[in-house]
């Protein structure tokens, strides 16, 4: 998998506003927030997208979701949206799997 900007954040080669970290994942504020709270939760292991994840990552994927909820609670959100853009057509721009945790404002459904 090609090196992405998120690998550079994991390896502290570029700065990020990190709000949570453990052995398996990192969570940091999105540089272009779409809501008052917009955090990205990423695995330290470089998985390109949900489309390329397989059963070997089942435990890690569960861990990422639980940590997304942890971050939302840490940010004192009452409601929040988790988004995983998969593939260019869906708006994925960084090909290192990430969960957007977005909250702090009302949100419409369906998304545009």
Contact positions toward ligand AMP, by CB under 6 A? 5, 16, 30-32, 40, 85, 91-94
CB of 16 to ligand AMP, least distance (A): 5
CB of 92 to ligand AMP, least distance (A): 4
Q: Quick one: 35 or 55, whose CB is closer to ligand AMP?
A: 35
- By the 10 Å C-beta count (0-12 exposed, 13-18 middle, 19+ buried), 61 is classed as middle
Question: What residues are annotated to the active site?
Answer: 98
Phi, psi angle pair for 72, to nearest 5°? -60, -45
Q: Quick one: 77 or 98, whose CB is closer to ligand AMP?
A: 98
63-88 residues labelled b (16+ CB within 10 A) or e (exposed): bbeebbebbbeebebeebbbebbbee
Q: Quick one: 32 or 54, whose CB is closer to ligand AMP?
A: 32
CB of 18 to ligand AMP, least distance (A): 10
User: Coil, helix or strand for 73?
Assistant: helix
Q: Which two tokens stand for residue 51?
A: 């489309």
């Amino acid at each position: 998998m090609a090196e992405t900007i998120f690998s550079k954040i994991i390896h502290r080669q570029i700065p990020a506003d990190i709000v949570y970290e453990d052995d398996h994942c990192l969570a940091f504020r999105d540089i272009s927030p779409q809501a008052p709270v917009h955090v990205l939760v990423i695995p330290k292991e470089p998985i390109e997208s949900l489309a390329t994840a397989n059963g070997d990552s089942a435990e890690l994927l569960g861990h990422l979701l639980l940590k997304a909820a942890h971050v939302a609670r840490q940010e004192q959100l009452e409601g929040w949206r988790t988004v995983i853009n998969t593939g260019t057509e869906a708006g994925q721009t960084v090909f290192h799997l990430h969960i957007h945790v977005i909250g702090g404002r009302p949100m419409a459904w369906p998304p545009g």
